[in-house]
Chain A
Amino acid sequence: MSDTIPIALPSDPPVTVELARALGLTENEYRVIEARLGRRPTYTELGVFSVMWSEHCSYKSSKLHLRQLPHSGRAVVRGPGENAGAIEIGDGWLAVFKIESHNHPSYVEPYQGAATGVGGIIRDILAMGARPIATLNSLKFGDFDYPRMTYLVRGVVGGIGGYGNCVGVPTVGGEASFSKEYNKNILVNVFCLGLARKGELMSASAKSVGSAVIYAGSATGRDGIHGASLLASAEFDSAEKSKRPSVQVGDPFMGKILIEACLEAFATGAVEACQDMGAAGLTSSSSELAARGGLGIELDLDKVPLREPALTPYEILLSESQERMLLLVCPGREGEVLSVFRKWDLPACVVGRIVAENRWRAFYRGALVADIPVNALTVDAPVYNRPVKARPVARDYSHSSTLCKSRGELEHGEVLRVLIGSPNVASKRWIYRQFDYLVQSNTLVEPGGDAAVLRIKGTQRALAIAVDSNFRLCARDPYIGAVAAVCEAALNVACVGATPVGITDCLNYGSPERPEVMWEFARSVEGIRDAALALEIPVVSGNVSFYNETDGQPIPPTPTIAVVGVLNERAHRLSSYFKRADDAVALVKGGKLRLAATAYEALLEQKRSGVSFGWVLPPIEPELVKATVDALSEAAALGIVSSAHDVSEGGIGVALVECCFNPNGVLGVEVSLDGLDELGVGEALFAEGTPLVIVSLPEANLERAAKVFTDRGLEFKTLGKVKNEPKLTVKDLIDEDCNALWEVYHRALPRRLGEHV
């Protein structure tokens, strides 16, 4: 068979350079394909190359940079290159996790785009042999005043809930921002974590010649063809609606059944390897499974379950229909696995075999229609060292000491109310109230805290998860912004008392063909690298999303960072809100306070458009963040701290307000910011910083706690006291009713969405 040349079908269009270009390949890439094959590709083969060599599948522009990231660590069981990363967390358990983007599909069709984003990442975790136990999301929307934005917000939130709630995996946290830079290119990044027993991780590499290739799940339809190449790997123009057929449609019920059936199939011990048919569907899953094992694969396309009979080989191979898994099963044990799927009423059948020769072959109606070296599709796909061009970074800001003047006539209390009522700062309850965050009975800290906390049943341990990004900082300086995202996610995890153990990153940028964007990307990766090294947290998985631009306008560089942490004793976890009156309130601080690239600055700029304040962007010292993380985890284990809350969007004042929102009854606080006057006390109220954490603790523990932090070179400054009376008092600056602030904080988002609350 192997000497035969694959045939073209009568319906195939002629293969030309123009066709290759229309499929997203460059002329040069087309020439390389001809050289690798030693002949002209068939239409089917050209389609296969176009998706496998797309940016989305091949990482051709990012690969060289990503190599710098620290991947190893004592606890790392699987690093990048597999379906997800895996970290040992104790008691024989592995945490398996990854974050992924579904940006363009969500902009074109928000409900299905977001829904299938959730489904896809869940199946990546499932493919590792882990039971998915939680998802989180990071959402970037545009300005509410932008025409389609309310529709997009409702659609995305509805889609995440629609899929997540029905598939039985709780949506336990996340973040959402709103800014005009994302008006024409919203971001939907979804994180999923699963648990697997040590030693029971599923492989993603073919192992033995003769293994059966089993297709399980939904039948293949025409949806999602060229999702990976034309939708995910190209910039948008105003005609994005015409791309709607490239968006897949989700079936969460099938997704749920697939989870149960696959886990049961894995338990038979007959499954050697597994992969989700995600981007580039059957093509990528089959070729990647074979490539990792250094083997080949033959597919019989006539066996693939189809929704309609007329699908061509091209369509079958490129379809991105959802809820499909590809399993490699030990020769002779196919029956055991197929009977599990039968029990769950799920279509499953053998569609091919693993072969020794390094070829990827597809047969259709008995004829060979594709015959490609496996490596040409995978490890030998093009890699580009794209040109970079630094764009000027505003480092030359001089320190201004006349800050109060620029705030002008605005009174502190008013600024605070405006900030906590702004969509970026306000409560995201409107969003997470539409998500089931309780199913599976593990959720110890629900959405709204610094990090989600999930218990691990049968142990005393718990996992903490936070996702973070900082588009304002990244827009100003992609390096500092990336460092900040890693540090903030690590601090969020530390604020519940956990020790960070692993990072997964989702890197969202404009077109890599623009040298300025490539520079932003390179600087971001360097930032993540430096922060991860300093914090000693390995990056075990990730995803790159380029071409986030519309009509030539790229989004700001947006690396989204998820950090997973472990709490050895779940009883030691800290809340983000104050626990009781009379506790002392203190600020943990390393490095300088910052007004540049804060919510406060954005507010002032909005009030007086065109005015730039010339505030400096101080460097972040990840070593001080590491010290804070260690100190928080020690303080939590010693039981000397009651609560900890990371100061982020909105600054110290907003963080103090959030600390007062104890769900069992709003508390108050009385503090003085005297001595935080490097900026002037009035501005310190709205300053952000990294690391900057508000802790509360019994007064009797002050001395011991101070030592834990100051011994590590951090400032520990007592600010005041928690009060029973729900009043926020900041000496000389603020005197506000916390219940009124609670109303502003919780009603802002529904109000922006036009709902009565």
Chain B
Amino acid sequence: MKWGVITFPGSLDDGDALYALREVMGQEAIALWHADERLYGVECVVLPGGFSYGDYLRCGALARFSPVMKSVARFARDGGLVLGICNGFQILCEARLLPGALTRNRSLSFICDRVALRVENASTPLTRLFSVGDVIRLPIKHGAGLFVASDEELALVEKRGQVLLRYVNAEGQATDEANPNGSLNNIAAIANETFNVFGLMPHPEHAVEADLGGEDGLKLFYSLVAEDR
């Protein structure tokens, strides 16, 4: 499967995503440049973590106007796989390719930690190698990861099974204490209505090697690869 990882000015985890895909998984993966509209025939576009344009305005608010984002929107409408991680998730929300928005953590502080997450829907391209209820551990590192949506939108997202991962405690319960940033309904990852665009605040690319924080992230990437077959 051919992957493309976009570098926006201020992207930080683009190199880490490429490393995970190429060096750890042995996938074909290319770097895409924000100012270049072409997608070079990739089958999955990754919008990486970071602080695009410094996030001095709203997170992701400027990056969505990058030339490459026009192609990403078209690619998504045509059913292409798009994965937004952290800042990438924020950009996809700003671009209205995903519902809701991400705002400042309720602590108002940046949080870097490892959290437990429960798989809520295992029949999507991103989660198909899991079972519903599986608890996995991934790192988070963000200052604006509080997922919000209007009451109606949230109800729809829940009803349609668009919630993919929820913050939980070690026992797998979505408690308020286990919610690191105050996200509504402990939501950590969602899909669009057609289940080909995904956004997650945790960083799967930082959980692909046993001695660097575990391998739970690998399974998410491999789920997308399985989709390819």
Contacts and interface: CB of A to CB of B under 8 A. Distances in A.
Contacts of B195: none
A345 B9 contact: yes
Given A344-B9, A444-B212, A253 B54 contact: yes
Interface in A438-456: 438-444, 455
Given A436-B110, A457-B19, A251 B211 contact: no
A432 B16 CA distance: 21
B212 A434 contact: no
B173 to A, nearest CB: 19
B9 A253 contact: yes
Contact of A433 (B111, B206, B211, B213): B111
B38 interface: no
B110 A161 contact: yes
Given A253-B56, A441-B212, A165 B51 contact: yes
A527 interface: no
A253 B141 contact: no
Interface string A206-245: 0000000000000000000000000000000000000000
A438 B114 CA distance: 11
A252 B212 contact: no
Contacts of B113: 433
Interface string B47-69: 00111011110000000000000
Interface in A503-550: none
Contacts of A158: 109
Contacts of A345: 9
A165 B110 contact: yes
B16 A441 contact: yes
Contacts of A455: 212
Contacts of B145: none
Nearest to A458: B23
Given A168-B50, A253-B53, A441-B212, A434 B110 contact: yes
Given A158-B109, A165-B143, A433-B113, A438 B54 contact: no
Interface string A450-472: 00000101000000000000000
Nearest to A435: B112
Contacts, number: 78
A712 interface: no
A40 interface: no
Interface residues of A, number: 30
A310 to B, nearest CB: 26
Interface in A400-444: 432-444
Contacts of A303: none
Given A252-B51, A253-B9, A457-B19, A436 B56 contact: no
A746 B59 CA distance: 31
Given A256-B12, A257-B9, A436-B141, A166 B112 contact: no
B141 A168 contact: no
B15 interface: yes
B99 interface: no
Contacts of A570: 211
Interface residues of B, number: 30
Among B15, B19, B110, B211, max chain A CB count under 10 A is at: B110
A750 to B, nearest CB: 10
Contacts of B55: 166, 253
Most chain B Cβ neighbours within 10 Å, of A158, A165, A438: A438
Contacts of A344: 9
Nearest to A429: B113
Given A165-B141, A439-B141, A441-B19, A256 B110 contact: no
A433 B16 CA distance: 20
Given A165-B141, A433-B112, A438 B213 contact: yes
B51 A438 contact: no
A359 B74 CA distance: 59
Contacts of B50: 168
B166 interface: no
Nearest to B141: A436
B15 A440 contact: yes
B10 A257 contact: yes
B94 interface: no
Interface in A127-174: 158, 161-162, 165-166, 168
B203 interface: yes
B212 A443 contact: yes
B112 A256 contact: no
Interface string B13-56: 10110011001000000000000000000000000011101111
A165 B139 CA distance: 15
A168 B112 contact: no
A219 B54 CA distance: 17
A439 B110 contact: no
Contacts of A166: 10, 12, 51, 54-55
Contacts of B206: 438, 441
A254 B53 CA distance: 9
A444 B16 CA distance: 15
A253 B11 CA distance: 9
Interface in A594-646: none
Interface string A560-572: 0000000000100
Contacts of B49: 439
A386 B167 CA distance: 61
A434 B19 contact: no
Nearest to B49: A439
B109 A434 contact: yes
B112 A436 contact: yes
A252 B13 contact: no
B99 to A, nearest CB: 27
Given A166-B10, A345-B9, A437 B51 contact: no
A253 B10 contact: yes
B171 to A, nearest CB: 15
Interface in B173-228: 203, 205-206, 211-213
Contacts of A440: 15-16
A251 B54 contact: yes
A251 B55 CA distance: 11
B12 A434 contact: no
22 contacts: A165-B110, A165-B112, A165-B141, A166-B12, A166-B51, A166-B55, A168-B12, A253-B9, A253-B54, A256-B10, A345-B9, A433-B112, A433-B113, A434-B110, A435-B112, A436-B12, A436-B141, A438-B139, A439-B13, A441-B205, A441-B206, A457-B19
Interface of B: 9-10, 12-13, 15-16, 19-20, 23, 49-51, 53-56, 109-113, 139, 141, 143, 203, 205-206, 211-213
Interface of A: 158, 161-162, 165-166, 168, 251-254, 256-257, 344-345, 432-444, 455, 457, 570
Given A434-B111, A438-B213, 7 more contacts: A168-B12, A251-B54, A253-B54, A433-B111, A436-B110, A436-B112, A441-B212
Q: Which 5 A-B residue pairings sit nearest by Cβ, starting from the closest?
A: A253-B54, A168-B12, A166-B51, A441-B16, A436-B141
